[in-house]
Structure 1
Amino acid sequence: MYYVPSANAIFFNGDRIEGTGNPVIERLSDLQNIAEILVSKFGGSINAWVVEASVFNGPFAVYKDFIPSVNQWGEPKSYSPTGFPASRMTVSLLSNCLEEVKKIIPGRQEQSPASISASHLPQPKTFILGFSKGGTVLNQLVTELSFSDVKFTGNSPHTEEQSTSNKYSNFTEEIKIIPNTEEGLLNSITETHYVDVGLNSSGAYLTNHDAIERISKRLTQGGEGIRFVLHGTPRQWCDSRRIWILNEKDKLVRMLKSEADRSGGKLQVCERFYFAQRPPDLQMHFEIIENLDVS
């Protein structure tokens, strides 16, 4: 029987940094190491997924499949929910990966009493993390979430009738290890972590007030609570040559705090600043990954 996680932590990586000769940067650029760090942070009951862009222009990650408006350097012109591309691609990637895992480690077909069907178990939550340019995917996902329908969980009478009419059910097929629809993914997001995000253009943080208002409205309609955590270092938040990064971050925090006051505690936001006493450098940009406070 396949292991069912308490949550799926999905980490969207940024540009490639190679040949620095810095062992810290090299270690924290390794995708397997990042996955292990995620498990150490969120706990052994989660599944960790580390996603890279499918296209690179030199070292620059180009998340074209997730954000259709990006230019050749992977910088977005805008974030639009049309077609829900980021959630669609994320679901597709996770599904394909899971199918590959099943080929390597076949699940045992076990029969379990229907009274313990998956409909009675909590489905895994989703935590999304965007590192550096990977934060653009978070902006796109949050935009799509703001325009998605609220999905209510629970057992309908029809589900109960089906459960009691069959003595046994296939436990492994009923349980969703990962979200299998765009709507399912978006409605399962409960934590959003911006990890030292930044761009050489505007768009590192979501500053669309309408999208944040829509998130707040979803919560009043019964949507799952969501927490936004903005993690930063002097490398990004104190860069005088790219002052828009700090300005965008501050604007997003103001909007989130304003809506949090109206949400009855269902929307939470906090900032965490790392290495405040150190001068900005590239190493701290990667060190933040293993220093993340996700509590």
Structure 2
Amino acid sequence: MHAKAILIGLLSATGAIAATYPDATPLQARDSKQVLGKDRTLRIMALGASITYGQGSDKTGGYRQELVRRLKEGKNKVEMVGEREHGDFTENKVEGWPGKRIDEILKDQMASVEKNKPAIVLLNVGTNDAVQNKDIDKAGDRYEDLVKEILKRGGPRTVVLASTLVHNRNKDAEERVKKINTQIERAVNKLIKEKKRVVLVNMFDKGPNPDKKDGESEYHDDIHPNERGYKKMAEVWEDAIKEADRRKLLAGPGGKVKKAADKTKQKLKKMADKPKKKLSKQKSKMLDEIRKIIQDEFKKVEDAIKDLKKDIKKN
């Protein structure tokens, strides 16, 4: 067997290769108290318009305070990122911009994505396209362009949790919401088939219920949820983050990749340090070749970990 093939088999066995690909064997379902992303801090950007900002909920920032609470209850480390703040709680940074449409978020907020390098982007945008009746038939194309740009600016470890729109209690706007949601689902499923780091989030069916009345109402007005509705959104987002974890999209520095790399380093070092036994010239030559490859790969792993640590410190 060729020496390099032997090495590839070794790397596969230690998990160093499989850990970097989201289509590897899926994890079991997580319970609400289980840590997500292993030791990795969940660096989250909430991106969208007024619902993301938390309009109708001045103290809790909409769904964000409840989401952070739920994640921390599961012993997760959470850092919310963004260029503005809203809500009477610690992790209140956000990229929520009331009134903005899909195209405006694409135009104005990508610099923040590039600067903050979020690991997770909670994307809920398009309600203003529906309310303003903005070129509804092309909303899906705009949404797809936005997701692609987020992935490009965020970098290779960013995952987008792409949400359908919540209900609108205005009859005409609700019909447009449904049309946009159909396009969002189509666009996101296309990106998933292309192996992009995206998860589809069904906020329309699982989020705030527009039909509840009086003391059980989940809406502040025709467009925005109230505290009860925002809490429901937080639950849906938490489930989406768990789904991303199940698909191994949260693996990164401090998580599965680092652990696999450390394990591989130890095995490679042990093999490289083993003394030579008396072997035939042919076998001895092959062993020398394998050791050379191991030493080279060992150095690459070390260099990669150093680069990742530098990247983490920068961000």
Instruction: Give the structure-2-normalised TM-score.
Output: 0.39
Please state which structure has a larger fraction of its residues in strand.
1
Q: Higher helix proportion, which one?
A: 2
When the two structures are superposed, what TM-score results if normalisation uses the length of structure 1?
0.42
